[in-house]
Amino acid sequence: MAYQNPDIARVADTLKSVFESLDDKRAIMRSLELGSLYDQLKTLPPDQKAGFGKEVNELKNELQSWVDSVVETADEHPSIDITAPFDINVAVKDQPVLLPASQGTIHPLMSEVEHIIGILSRMGFSVYESREIDDDYHMFTSLNFPADHPARDDYDTFVTDEGLIAPAHTSTMQNRILRAGKNDLVKNDLPIAAVIPDRVFRNEDLDARHEHTFYQLEGIYVDHGVSTAHLIAVLKSWLGAYFEKDIKVKLQPFYFPFTEPSFEFVASCVFCNQKGCNICSQSGWIELGGCGMIHPNVLKEADIDPAAYSGFAWGFGIERLVMLKHDIEDVRYFHSANLKFLRQFK
C-alpha cells in the first residue's frame, strides 16, 4: 500500500523490513515507530489531523492483516473437547497438567444438595435455579419490603455501581415462580410447588458460622386453603427423610416482610435427641431457618388473588443442614478447597 504522507510511508517501509525477522509477529502492533505516528497525530494542527489519522489507521489495519495472515489462531488456543472428562485434555500442548479425573469427587455440598432436592422432588416440588446477579425489585420490592424499610438492612450484600445486586437470599425467585405458575394454578387447579437451592451473598464478618457466599434452600407452595399445618407437615417430612430420624418441630414467632405470620423453624436436636449437647447449647432444640405463610401483598404482586389462594414458604441455609448432618464444625471448610476435608466425603 502506498502512503501519501512521507512519515507514514517511511514507518511502513521500516516495519515491513523488520517483520520477517520478528519472533512474535504481534509485537509489530506495539512497535515504537507506530506509536510515534500516534504521538505525532496529537501535535498536528486541526486541519491536518483527519488526513493523517486516516492514513495511520490504514497502516495499522495493514499491519494487523500481516499479523493475522501468519499467526494461526489455532496455535494460540489449542482446541479442547469441553465435553470430555477433564483429564483427556491434559495431552494438549502447553496446557498445565491436571489431576486425573479418577482422583476427583463431587463436592460434598453439591452431593448433599442433590440428596436434599431428590427428597423434595419426590414430594412433588419442581427445582429452579436462582440468579447470581439480580435487581432491587426481586430482592426487595416484590417481597413487600417498603422502600427505605429497616428490614432491608438485614440483607447487607454486594451491589454494583449500576445498582445490580448479588442476591442475599433465594426469595428473589418467589415472584418469578408465582408468575410462572399462576396460569396452571388458576386454569388447571395445579398447586405451585417449587424449591430453589442456590448461592447467595452477604457482607458478613466471617467466622465458623458465617460465610460471605453460601447456599440457601428456598421453598414455596401455593394452593386453595393452605395453612400452617401444611407448612409444618411438609418441612417435618422432608427433614425427617434427610436426617433419617423422626424430628420434633417448634415454630417461634419472627418477622419477615414477605410472610405473615412469620416463624423461625426450630427442630429437636438431631445429635442428642434432646438430651442436651454442645451443638444445641444444652437446649435440645436447633434453629434451622425462616418460614411463614406467604404475605397477601406478595401474592398480589404476582397477580394471584390472596382471597382465593394461600401458601407457605421457607428459606434454610444448606450448609447449616449439611454441617448438622455430618458434624462439620466450621462453615469455611466448604469453600476452602482443603483436600483433607474434601477427601473425607469421597
Q: Give whichever of 154 and 305 is closer to ligand DAH, judged by the CB atom.
A: 154
Q: Which amino acid is at 184?
A: D
Nearer of residues 313 and 322 to ligand DAH, judged by Cβ: 313
3-state class percentages of the chain: helix first, strand second, coil last, to nearest 5: 45, 20, 35
With CB under 6 A as the contact rule, the residue among 198, 218, 301, 319 that binds ligand DAH is: 218
Q: Does residue 197 touch ligand DAH according to CB under 6 A?
A: no
The least distance separating ligand DAH from the CB of residue 77, rounded to whole angstroms, comes to 42
Question: Does residue 201 bind ligand DAH (CB under 6 A)?
Answer: no
x/- map, 252-281, ligand DAH, by CB under 6 A: ----x--x----------------------
Instruction: Give CA–CA dist 257/149, Å, rounded.
Output: 10
Q: Which of 317, 117, 337 is nearest to 202 (CA)?
A: 317
User: Toward ligand DAH, which CB reaches closer, 113 or 291?
Assistant: 291
Q: Which stretch binds ligand DAH (CB under 6 A): 180-188, 222-230, 238-246, 285-293?
A: 285-293
Taking the C-alpha atoms of residue 139 and residue 141, their distance in angstroms, rounded to an integer, is 7
Closer CB to ligand DAH, residue 256 or residue 333? 256
Omega cis (within 30) before 261:
yes
CB of 324 to ligand DAH, least distance (A): 17
d(CA 33, CA 93) in angstroms, rounded, equals: 34
- Smallest separation (angstroms) from ligand DAH to the CB of 314: 5
Query: How many Cα atoms within 13 Å fall on the side-chain side of residue 35?
Result: 6
Nearest residue (CB) to ligand DAH, 242 versus 256: 256
| Residue 292 engages ligand DAH in binding (rule: CB under 6 A) | yes
| Beta strands across the sheet bearing 259-268 | 126-127, 192-201, 213-223, 310-317, 285-294, 259-268, 249-254
Using CB under 6 A as the binding rule, whether residue 167 contacts ligand DAH is answered as: no
Smallest CA-to-CA distance from 258 within 295, 285, 228 is with 295
Choose, by CB under 6 A, the member of 167, 197, 257, 290 that binds ligand DAH. Answer: 290
Tell me which amino acid residue 264 is.
Answer: E
CB of 110 to ligand DAH, least distance (A): 21
Least distance between ligand DAH and beta carbon 188 (Å): 24
Q: How far apart are the first and last CA of the chain?
A: 65
Does position 171 bind ligand DAH by CB under 6 A? yes
Q: What secondary structure does DSSP assign to 178-209, as a single string? A: HHHHHHHHHHH-PPEEEEEEEEEE-----BTT
Q: Is 311 in the site for ligand DAH (CB under 6 A)?
A: no
Closest distance between ligand DAH and the C-beta of residue 317, in Å? 8
266's enclosing H/E stretch is strand 259-268
Residues that bind ligand DAH (CB under 6 A): 169, 171, 218, 256, 259, 290-292, 313-315
